[in-house]
A and B are shown apart, each in its own frame.
Chain A
Amino acid sequence: MFEAVLLTVITAATPLLIAAVGELVVERSGVLNLGVEGMMIMGAVVGFAVANQTGSGSLGVVAAIVAGMAMSALFGFLVLILVTNQVASGLALTILGLGLSGMIGEAFIGVPGLRLPELYIPVLSEIPFVGPVFFQQDALVYVSFLLVGAVSYMLFKTRAGLILRAVGDNHVSAHALGYSVVRVRFMAILFGGACAGLAGAYMSLAYTPQWVENMTAGRGWIALALVVFASWLPFRVVAGAYLFGAVTVLTFHAQAQGLGIPSQFLSSLPYLATIAVLVLISANRRLTLVNTPACLGKPFVPDR
């Protein structure tokens, strides 16, 4: 049973993980994109629509990524070229995404969806316990693991990652050294959009293969919390996503076990837990200061 619970937790945590990793890169470059929810839901609807029309789940996933990138490009144009307020622009993106996705998705409600196939990795998936849990999952679960590894490697072991972090920590100096702050941030924003779109595709093509309005149900906001929670370190995002997923799933198990705790209290546990962990992490000033991108949210306009 523990194995089954773990499988459920992995499924619940994956969209959070993918979206959070993308946003982590964006924030490391110094930009705060509150529009994750809007990009995710657009990815979900476009992914579902394309998969439904073409019969191909893979095409749906690709389309979802493109949709997420398109939304984030709009955001990038606003905050990098027109230098608008990042908080407001992110919120506008979310509102627009929720509305647009509802409109696009109207034709697809009540339509049974395509489900992304599970990938069985031969031999490895036969290992008792570890096998099914880690090696017999939706393709996107594997992608999420690879993504975390790749982002961590990129950020801390490559020159590109160094430049990205420099831009996020001190955009004035980075600019003086000749790096194009706008271009680096724009690339980061596009990557964040791609991840959010992918996470959305997971929702509508694997988690619950169908389309309904607002199906992301606030997961974009949780992903944002996870980035802070993880002090902008990729592997900690994994811990956060799985912790949040676990608390959510376990509340149902607690109910099914017949524990007489009010269900509303159980439902509020994931949110209270997030606050508690956020407080603990931020209270450790040294940890926070070391990892927070110093220029997060600050607009950048080069003086010539």
Chain B
Amino acid sequence: MKSILRGAIAALALTAAGSVAQAADLKACFVYVGPVGDFGWSYQHDQGRLAVEEHFGDRVETAYLESVPEGPDAERAIERFARDGCGLIFTTSFGYMNPTIKVAKKFPDVKFEHATGYKTADNVATYNSKFHEGRYIIGQIAAKQSKTGVAGYIASFPIPEVVSGINAFMLGAQSINPDFKLKVVWVNTWFDPGKEADAAKALIDQGADIITQHTDSTAPLQVAQERGVHGFGQASDMINFAKDAQYTAIIDDWAPYYIERVQEVLDGKWHSHSAWDGIAEGHVVMAPYTNLPDDVVEMAKATEAKIKGGWEPFTGPITKQDGTEAAADGVRLEDGAILGMNWYVKGIDDKLPQ
């Protein structure tokens, strides 16, 4: 009898050891608002996830849900992951904010990371990237390269992130050419290639010879390529879609942040924060500069270095469209002012939709 018992305990121990050796230490789960194949926002987040898998190997297991619409379905998707044993859940869209907070309350032992939001909790961190740093650089390039002095901006929705991007672009352009002009078209979608293409065509027909976008598809650059004008890729390097038209792209590189946060959970050092990093930390990366003369590339790289050294593009003097001063000479705009930006800088003629 004793030997059977000993044998059974030994067998159990072996099985337990075996399963522990194979089970991952952490399951990291990702909720995407669009398809992984959008080659834009969600694609880049998934690249981050793949980097996590590669870096940690068997120690970390990952899972993802794509095309989860903001709204009632989001809460269910997030809760499903919490119930499935995910220890760290990334919710990658602003509209997931309140569902994330709600689920986080129910699952205090699970850690949540919400992108582009502003509500935190003990187990909810927020993270965002200083995309506007990249916008400043491409604004400078645009002013240098444009023959008509007019750029076209295909914008999605008038939210602060997009508005600050437009303003940063304009400030960069104005640093080279104070009379630079910008035409903005709001397409009211993050992703609709047909609409984006039509908007690009309209802008080009109206005199813009540089196209930039805050939407996710490659369509505007394709139109630029066809029409012989130039532009900038968004979220991913879109050079394959526009060999001669793309100057550079602003790439969202989430890999360093994701790896860092997963490591912190594994080490037991994770705590909530509001992260907002940019070029200096490697979260915003400029794609290789192509189709540009050397001196412009030098200028762009110099600006990159300046930003890496701690310079904030939203440093005064900045004047608002209505004439009031936003920041005096040499004064940095506060983070809150940038994150909640709802005004245009002077020099943009369009009215911002309110």
Answer yes or no: A and B touching, Cβ < 8 Å. Answer: yes
Query: What's the minimum C-beta distance from B32 to chain A, rounded to whole angstroms?
Result: 13
Interface: B54 (CB within 8 A): no
A203 to B198 CA separation, bound complex (whole angstroms): 13
**CB-defined contacts of A207 to chain B, threshold 8 Å:** 194, 197
Check if B199 sits within 8 Å of A252, measured CB to CB. Answer: yes
Closest to A207 in B: B194
B188, A212: Cβ atoms closer than 8 Å? no
Chain A, residues 257-277, CB within 8 Å of chain B (1/0): the string is 110101110010000000000
Pairwise interchain contact A260-B222, C-beta atoms closer than 8 A:
no
B194 near A8: Cβ-Cβ < 8 Å: no
The interface centre, meaning the residue of B67, B183, B194, B218 with most chain A CB atoms within 10 A of its CB, is B194
CA distance A208 to B192 in the complex (A): 10
When C-beta atoms are compared, the residue in chain B nearest to A252 turns out to be B202
Task: Tell whether A133 is near chain B: CB-to-CB under 8 Å.
Answer: no
Give every chain B residue within 8 A of A212 (Cβ-Cβ): 35, 37-38, 191, 193, 217
B350, A263: Cβ atoms under 8 Å? Answer: no
Complex contacts, A267 vs chain B, CB 8 Å: 188
Closest to B203 in A: A256
Task: Point out the residue from A112, A213, A219, A256 that lies within 8 Å of B202, measured CB to CB.
Answer: A256
Whether B241 is near chain A, meaning CB under 8 Å from some CB there, is: yes
**Residues A253 and B186 in contact, CB atoms below 8 Å apart:** no
| B191 nearest in chain A by CB position | A212
Docked Cα-Cα span, A207 to B195, in Å, equals: 10
User: In chain A between 224 and 263, which residues have their CB closer than 8 angstroms to a CB of chain B?
Assistant: 248-249, 252-253, 255-258, 260, 262-263
Judge if A217 is at the interface, Cβ distance under 8 Å: yes
Q: B205 an interface residue at 8 Å Cβ cutoff?
A: yes
- Interface size on A, as a range, is 20 to 34
Whether, in the assembled complex, A209 has its beta carbon less than 8 Å from a beta carbon of chain B, the answer is: yes
A62 at interface by CB-CB < 8 Å: no
Interface residue ranges of B2-51 to A (CB < 8 Å): 35-39, 43
Asked if B185 is at the interface of the complex by the 8 Å CB criterion, the answer is yes
Q: Does B268 contact A (CB under 8 A)?
A: no
Q: What mask results when residues 214 to 253 of chain B are scored 1 for a CB within 8 Å of chain A, else 0?
A: 0001110010001000000000000011000000000000
B185–A256 CB distance below 8 A: yes
Give the B-binding residues of A (Cβ under 8 A). 1, 4-5, 8, 11-12, 106, 109-110, 112, 115, 203, 207-210, 212-213, 215, 217, 219, 248-249, 252-253, 255-258, 260, 262-264, 267
Q: Which residues of B contact A (CB under 8 A)?
A: 35-39, 43, 67, 152, 183-188, 191-199, 201-206, 208, 217-219, 222, 226, 240-241, 349-351, 353
Enumerate 15 A-B pairs (CB-CB under 8 Å) in ascending A order. Answer: A8-B201, A106-B37, A109-B39, A110-B43, A212-B38, A213-B35, A213-B67, A217-B192, A255-B185, A255-B186, A256-B208, A263-B187, A263-B353, A264-B188, A267-B188
Q: A110-B38, A256-B185 are in contact. List 15 more A-B contacts (CB 8 A).
A: A11-B201, A12-B198, A110-B43, A208-B222, A210-B217, A210-B222, A217-B192, A249-B202, A252-B187, A253-B206, A255-B350, A256-B202, A256-B203, A263-B353, A267-B188
Ranked nearest first, the 10 interchain pairs of A and B with the lowest CB-CB distance are A109-B37, A252-B202, A110-B39, A263-B186, A208-B193, A4-B205, A260-B351, A208-B219, A255-B185, A256-B206
